[in-house]
Chains A and B, each alone.
Chain A
Amino acid sequence: MPKKVHVQTTINGEAVEYLCEPRQSLLEVLRDVLHLTGAKEGCNNGNCGACSVILDGRLVNSCLVLGAELEGKSLETIEGLAEPEQLHPIQDAFLENAALQCGICTPGFIMAAKALLDQNPNPTEHEIRYWLAGNLCRCTGYDKIVRAVQDAAQTTS
């Protein structure tokens, strides 16, 4: 087995240190090493967005990033979004608008929506749809997800 890589990084605002195999994806590191299981594996090849996280301000599929690449970077995951006792406005909007069913795609959609609203606080419906085109949902038909993001944009801007 190749030697493990030592990584020092920032996750959800906290300094984190871990060892990972050079071949391990960020998704595997999050789930199997750090036990941050909010990001899900829907495909492991960049097609579903269930593993979405925000890396140095950019939305990425964590299944397509290596765990070793996190050195010195800053990562946001679904676990860092809500304050204790206080959901993030996007989470609230998903709940209020019933923008989820089985919920397995939900953390990915919420992180993707956050990355969008961070850089474009007032997106049009088209912008929302194109931004979220990398996230698949088999349950909802997306309509309510769009509404939730629109609602969240109103409250956050």
Chain B
Amino acid sequence: MAVVGTSTKRIDGIEKVTGTAEFTTDIVLPRMIHAKLKRSPYAHAKILGIDTSKAEQMPGVRAVITAADLPDVRLGVLTLDEHLLAHDKTRLVGEPVAAVAADTPEIARAACEQIEVEYEELAPLFDPEEAIKLDPPVVLHEEYEEYEKLLEIAEMDERPPNLWQAYRIRHGDIDDAFKKAEDEGGYIIENRYATGYVHTACMEPHGAVAQWSSDGSLTLWAGGQSPYIARDGLAKALDLSPSKVRVIVPFVGGAFGGKLTVKEGAIAASLAHKAGRPVKIILTRAEDLAATAARTPFIFDIKDAVTKDGILIGRKVTSILWGGGYSGEGILKPIFSTHLYPGSYRLAALWVDSYGVYTNRVSGGALRGYGCAESAWAVETQMDIIARKCDIDAVELRINNLLTEGERTAITMPAHAFSAHECLTKCADAIEWETPSESLESPWYRGKGIALGNKYSFAPTASSTELKVHEDASCELRTSAVDLGQGAYTILTQIVADEFGIEIDQVKLVTPDTAITPFDHVAGSSRQTFHTGNATRMACDDAKRQIRELAASKLEADPDDLEVSGGRISVKGSSKSIEVEDLFVVEMLAGKRPAVDEIIGKATWEVTASPHDPNTGQGEEPMAYMGHGAQAAEVEVNVETGQVRIRRFVSAIDVGKAMNPQGVEMQNYGGGCMGIGIALHEDMCFDANGEMTNASLMDYKIPSIVEMPLNEYMESIIVEVPHQHGPYGAKGAGEIVVVPTSPAIGNAIYDAIGVRIWDQPLTPEKVVKAWKEKQASGNGSGS
């Protein structure tokens, strides 16, 4: 019986509903002590000296560390620009400068207060447009040129000293496109957009537990997205051989891109080493919100050339990613955000200059959609504006501009399993696009909006798995793919059950532990179902091959004539068969053992990619696959209070093959919910000193259950256009679900009240202001 494609219940469900699932915060080790961080109160300051003596003398304090206790190495994703603890300078409020481990978290916190740090305050730099100047008022990284860099950026005559990323796309003749639009009665549409400061705000804050063994090896428990990235990061930070580091991933309470770093874990490890005891660190909610990487803003200047019939012929974009003190996990965002400029559309000319800069704010990290969710805001609002300008229906205009299967986008990605049309039309039907919203009584207005989106999944990348077959024919899958809540463990279990024709409960998953489970790149970029799914199928094939070879002599048949299913090996087309158990023999005093070797299937699924030329954005196939989705919203806007209610929401995403339809629905609802929060109210605020002023779940407002539409107005649509390389045709769903949300809502607000708000989030204040401006000027504030 096929289980792939059915809504199999979560294999980790019972532990989670009974409260027995063990998260990092639940881990307790004998003699374990607790760590707290001393953080910088200044956005930009020189560290002149640190006196830890008072803290060290406090009863219950077991270890205090500063940068002087750590190897002098800079860390980072691709530009190595950050120390574990601030060295000579701090570049953002909240940057850790020292750490304490003590018997209780309270003692550790009190001891942090006793650490005296002498700072020399430096002028901070917060404005990204100042930061990008060739002669900026402040330079954050004076030694930038000396840093190790693993990625080439676009060539420039002179690098602005605060710039850490530059990427260009040069495709087609852009000048010609604008000239054509001008000469032939078309339109040139130019606007500036911005996204806001957003935090992953996982319900589980960052944390780790570190323990050393007497042989000098380290074990770290941390709910992160990649045990191997964590292992290598720890090894580098602590100057250890990677083989000396073991990373175990317990249950993870959400990640969304925010749990790629091992910073806290490495600090805990260093404290544990000094104290000679296991150390646990769990960030408070305020620390988690204010001092771990955020989705920092983009500014997009976008200029489109459109024919009078609404065909997009040229697009020019300049964008700046408003980075923080360090490049961090945001390093590739200025590149990945460009995927949406062509998006699903045919574009003869595309010219992009995309930058990332340092400022003295929180560092930029990953958050679901990695740059694409941000650029979609600009691109899909533009499409709505173009449609209105050309007086063409917004769905029709998009369809007229879509690529067709097999074409290449302006960034040379082949449009394969190209489902944009289907996602868009299904979404439009569900929201009854043809029927305008009802009029409400003043001050309420209703309107509908729609948007399309893509999410590419990165390459090069690889996943390996191992599959062991036991004497009772049950299977044990060893994987380093992490279940962050997205359901990876369940889907991989379904695959094994299907491939072996066994029940779900005959599959056991060995979850990420670098001492046991093989390499898997990362639970990110919507890649687990696609890549780990493929590796799992291949490992199953390998194990079945071994079984067939072992069974061949017993069944006196050719291995190729055998099939393995439901715990039996049978000769095709005959009644001859044996059980998997027959491949094992009895050993005195020891039960059964494999007759020859352990039956362990192994496989690695790898996708190579040639990096794009950073000066032209052109190259071979740049990514593993391209995801598609469309979302539509119907909103109700109160023009007096500025309140925006989501009345109806539809999310239609293409997953190639729904491995677990209930799981896809969860992505549609959960992603839509996060997207609604980002569009309307999630907003990290900062004071003039660069300190976050709303670092609590009261003030940093993520959607609660009452802000979401009622069940009957929330619709999930699953589109299945199989991908040639996906397992069973599947592609990932985790990120595309937040990509079109903001523009769909912004476009709906325009439909309701005729105003555009260009910068996210679309808060009540901005709505009221835009409405008043429109009333004063007698027309819309945009398009």
Contacts and interface: CB of A to CB of B under 8 A. Distances in A.
Interface of A: 31, 35, 37-45, 47-48, 50, 77-79, 81-82, 87, 91, 94-96, 98, 100-107, 110, 125, 129-130, 132-133, 135-147
A45 B696 contact: yes
A98 B87 CA distance: 47
**Chain B CB within 10 A, most for which of A40, A130, A139, A140:** A139
27 contacts: A38-B19, A42-B204, A44-B285, A45-B697, A47-B285, A78-B18, A91-B18, A95-B9, A95-B10, A98-B662, A98-B663, A102-B253, A103-B16, A107-B19, A125-B710, A129-B705, A133-B706, A136-B697, A138-B201, A138-B254, A139-B254, A139-B666, A139-B670, A141-B672, A141-B714, A142-B673, A143-B711
Nearest to B17: A91
Nearest to B9: A95
A38 B26 CA distance: 9
B58 interface: no
A116 to B, nearest CB: 12
Contacts of B728: none
A4 B700 CA distance: 36
**Chain A CB within 10 A, most for which of B9, B669, B674, B704:** B704
A45 B665 CA distance: 32
Contacts of A104: 23, 203-204, 251, 253-254
Nearest to B673: A141
Contacts of A135: 704-705
Given A95-B9, A100-B13, A137-B705, 14 more contacts: A39-B19, A42-B697, A48-B203, A95-B13, A98-B10, A101-B486, A103-B17, A107-B19, A132-B705, A136-B702, A141-B670, A141-B714, A143-B669, A143-B714
B202 interface: yes
A100 B16 contact: yes
A98 B9 contact: yes
A132 B706 CA distance: 8
B697 A48 contact: yes
A59 to B, nearest CB: 15
Nearest to A50: B203
**Chain A CB within 10 A, most for which of B10, B18, B669:** B18
Interface in B1-49: 7, 9-10, 12-23, 25-26, 28
A100 B10 contact: yes
B263 to A, nearest CB: 20
**B-side interface size class:** 35 or more
Nearest to B7: A98
A102 B484 contact: yes
A130 B702 CA distance: 16
A110 B251 CA distance: 19
A142 B15 CA distance: 20
A152 B555 CA distance: 52
A98 B17 contact: no
A40 B253 CA distance: 10
Contacts of B732: none
A48 B703 CA distance: 11
Contact of A41 (B25, B672, B714): B25
Contacts of A143: 669, 708, 711, 714
B487 interface: yes
B204 A102 contact: yes
B203 A37 contact: no
Given A140-B670, A144-B665, A147-B711, A106 B704 contact: no
A82 B663 CA distance: 25
Contacts of B665: 98, 144
A78 B20 CA distance: 9
A12 B204 CA distance: 26
B241 interface: no
B485 interface: yes
B671 interface: yes
A145 B17 CA distance: 12
B17 A101 contact: no
Contacts of A35: 28
Nearest to B106: A23
B631 to A, nearest CB: 12
Contact of A110 (B17, B202, B285, B674): B17
A104 B259 CA distance: 15
Contacts of A144: 665-666, 669
B704 A136 contact: yes
B698 interface: yes
A40 B708 CA distance: 24
Q: Which 5 A-B pairs have the closest CB atoms?
A: A38-B19, A102-B485, A103-B16, A104-B253, A141-B669
**Chain B CB within 10 A, most for which of A31, A94, A96, A102:** A102
A44 B670 contact: no
Contacts of B486: 101
A141 B671 contact: yes
A37 B19 contact: yes
Contacts of B671: 141
Contact of A106 (B16, B285, B710): B16
A35 B25 CA distance: 12
B256 A138 contact: yes
A139 B19 contact: no
A11 B705 CA distance: 29
B284 interface: yes
A103 B485 contact: yes
Interface string B469-512: 00000000000000011110000000000000000000000000
Contact of A101 (B201, B487, B710, B711): B487
B19 A95 contact: no
A40 B669 contact: no
Interface string B247-273: 000011110100000000000000000
Given A42-B203, A81-B18, A102 B251 contact: yes
Nearest to A92: B17
Interface in B375-426: none
A145 B705 contact: yes
Given A38-B19, A42-B697, A136-B203, A95 B708 contact: no
B30 to A, nearest CB: 14
A20 to B, nearest CB: 13
Contact of A96 (B9, B203, B668): B9
A37 B253 CA distance: 14
Given A102-B254, A136-B203, A141-B708, A42 B285 contact: yes
B10 A78 contact: no
Contacts of A45: 285, 696-698
A94 B666 CA distance: 13
Contact of A79 (B19, B205, B251, B706): B19
Nearest to A41: B25
A139 B251 CA distance: 14
Contacts of A132: 705
A38 to B, nearest CB: 2
A133 B705 contact: yes
A42 to B, nearest CB: 5
B17 A102 contact: no
Contacts of B669: 140-144
Contacts of B15: 103
A132 B670 CA distance: 16
B337 to A, nearest CB: 23
B742 to A, nearest CB: 16
A23 to B, nearest CB: 8
B693 to A, nearest CB: 16
B696 A43 contact: yes
Nearest to A130: B706
A95 B14 contact: yes
A101 B19 contact: no
Given A39-B19, A43-B696, A105 B203 contact: yes
Contact of B203 (A79, A138, A142): A138
B258 to A, nearest CB: 10
Contacts of A44: 284-285
Interface in B671-719: 671-674, 696-698, 702, 704-706, 708, 710-711, 714
